[in-house]
Structures are given as C-alpha cells and as structure tokens.
Amino acid sequence: MLITTAPAALYRDPAVFDRERTAVFARAWIFLGLEADLAEAGDYLAETLAGYPLVVVRDGAGTLRGFHNVCRHRAGPLVEGAKGSCGGELVCRYHGWRYTLDGRLRSATDFGPADGFDPRAFGLHAVAVQAWRGLVFVNLDADAAPLAETLAPVDRLLGDRAFPTNVALRRSHPIDCNWKVYVENYLEGYHIDRIHPSLAAEVETGRYAVRMEGQVAIHEVPANAGAAEGLWAWIWPNLALNLYRNVLIIEPMRPDGPGRTRLDYIYLHDPKTEGLEAAVATSERLTDEDRWICQRVQENLNAGVYDQGALSARHENGLRWFQARVMAALAGPRNPGAAAAPAAAVG
C-alpha cells in the first residue's frame, strides 16, 4: 500500500505549531545544555525551547532544578542570557521577587500588605530535569518516564565508549524552514547522492539504513575503505548525536516559530586526539547543503500547490515513523497538564 506523506499544512500552519508545542515538546525529554556548565550551586542554563523560556539551576544541595523562566508576579524573567550564576537565589529582573533555588517564593519584595496573599501559592512553575552522560534534558511533563528509558538504545550502542568532554566550539545555524522539514531530511539517506556528493563518495549510500528503537532512530551506513566509523543517533523529537572521529556533535534542531529552525551545535572533542578540524569542516559543509534544500522545500510547501506526496519504503521508513509519531501526538487527547497548568514548587 502506498504510504503518503503528512499534508503540507503541517509544515506551515501556525495553529499546528501551537499544538505541537504542547503535544510534542511539552511531553518529551528535550536537550537543554551541558552539565559541565552547572558545576557550582547557583550556576544556571537558560534556553527557550519551542517557545518555552526555561531555566535549570544547581541548588545548594547539588540537585539540578528546572523552572519556567517566568516570574509568578507579572511574568518577568528570572535570568537573562544562556548561562551564568544567580548566586543563592533567583531574583526576578522586573520587580525583584526572590525565589529559593528550589523554586519557593522567599520574598515578594516590597509588595506591601495584601489580604489573602499566600507566598506558598506563588512558587515557580517547575519542570523535570535529568542528566545523561553530561547532557542535561528537561521535560515539561511531570509524569514523564525516566530519561534513561528514552536513551537506552543509545547506551546499548555506545557500551563503555565515553563521550569526549572538552567543548571545542559552538555554532548556531538559523534555517528558514519548519523544524519537521529539517528533521525529516535528517532521517533519510535518500538525498545524499544529490545533495552531499562528497559524502556520497565516502559511504555506500545504496546500503544506507535507518532503524528505529523506541524513541531513537539509528543510522547505519557502511563506510568505504579508509573512512572512519561513526555513530549517528536521532532522539525524538529534535536531537541528533553524531560521534565521528573522536568528536561528538550535539545537534538540537530547535523550532523557532512555525517557519524557522535553529541548529545549536556543540562540538565536544578529546584534545589529545586529531580530527577536530576535519569534523567541523565536514559538518559545516553538510549543514550548508541541507540548509539549502530544506529552505527550498519550505518555499515550495508554502506555495500552496503541493499537498501530499509519497514515501519510499526502501529509503524513507524513518520519515514514516516520525510522521506517524507527530500525527499521533497531534491527534492525542488535549492535555493541558504540562503547558497550561504546570506544577508549582510549593513547600
């Protein structure tokens, strides 16, 4: 039976994107940053993920705590910038309400007398935080299964092979396409011959395979003689981990509205080994090539002529899996839980 693609509206309708924020991104483990940036009490990382401004901080007991970066007074931000130290408390930038590092309202600074005001009801909205191999993930769903369950297939592939830990560089690539256009391009090797001719010369594209395990899509392609072995894993809904020649490239594919995606690459490298420059150059070239085709596809989706196409069973099983997951999430019960009424820290 012919497998059709998802309809074009899924890639350009702002209402679909709004629904994806709650149905996809508020219900999955999303990569936020590196645990190495949270070494001391008060260190924080902040990021806006699918339109949710979030902050993760290490508290005085050493526990990672996650919150919406949204003050309970009138929605001011608690921290600015991607990382830093907030000292012993989170102080809103707007009117100075002060919160403990576990999210309780310590002081509604100079608020004045107010009948019925109970500070215990104004703790920060909390999100779940877990770390895995030095990578910090957040989940807006308080009932989420442990992160380790999601990543078990990657652990099995890695075995006792450790990730490099030295941050060699970070690169951001804005791309004018819906996040799913970029993800779907990542999930198939069908385009390699035409879009990435230099990669096509290195690998046996005819034997390129994507296999799914749980929430992970694992890419497998035999390398021609001389090419190095790598690991290419993609984790629902928007993270790729590429381990290649002693360089780990962490590739979050971050939606930035319905028509924009930002790749925030982090390159980790073991400084005792060679290969960083070559890995960066290859990655930059492939990203430029993918950006070009993804932006052209988005323009064509926006033009309003194309609605649905067909997926190749030979090459595009990863897309079939991904599109089914997206559509199941969109069709699922509307759960206001994580997004509309997040758990507040109380106590």
Q: Which residues bind ligand FES (CB under 6 A)?
A: 71, 73-76, 92, 94-97
- Minimum CB distance to Fe ion, residue 178 (Å): 16
Could you tell me which of 258, 188, 213, 209 has the C-alpha nearest to residue 19?
A: 258
Considering only 47, 184, 188, 290, the residue that binds Fe ion (CB under 5 A) is: 290
Contact status: 141 vs Fe ion (CB under 5 A): no
Contact 65, 56 (CB under 8 A): yes
Comparing CB distances to Fe ion, the nearer of 278 and 346 is: 278
Comparing CB distances to Fe ion, the nearer of 43 and 290 is: 290
Comparing CB distances to Fe ion, the nearer of 184 and 290 is: 290
Is the bond into 237 cis (omega within 30 degrees of 0)?
A: yes
Residue 290 binds: one of ligand FES, Fe ion, none (C-beta under 5 to 8 A by kind):
Fe ion
3-class SS at 213? strand
Dihedral sign for Cα 162, 165, 166, 172, please: positive
Phi, psi of 20 (to 5 degrees): -65, -35
- Minimum CB distance to ligand FES, residue 219 (Å): 45
Tell me the residue nearest to Fe ion as measured from the CB.
Answer: 290
Comparing CB distances to ligand FES, the nearer of 100 and 317 is: 100
Contact status: 251 vs Fe ion (CB under 5 A): no
Comparing CB distances to ligand FES, the nearer of 9 and 121 is: 121
- Minimum CB distance to ligand FES, residue 94 (Å): 4
- Minimum CB distance to Fe ion, residue 265 (Å): 14
* CA–CA distance, 332 with 26 (Å, rounded to integer): 13
Listed in sequence order, the DSSP H helices in the chain are 14-23, 147-158, 179-186, 192-195, 197-200, 276-302, 317-331, 337-340
* CA–CA distance, 142 with 283 (Å, rounded to integer): 36
Q: Which stretch binds Fe ion (CB under 5 A): 44-52, 111-119, 155-163, 284-292?
A: 284-292
- Minimum CB distance to ligand FES, residue 93 (Å): 7
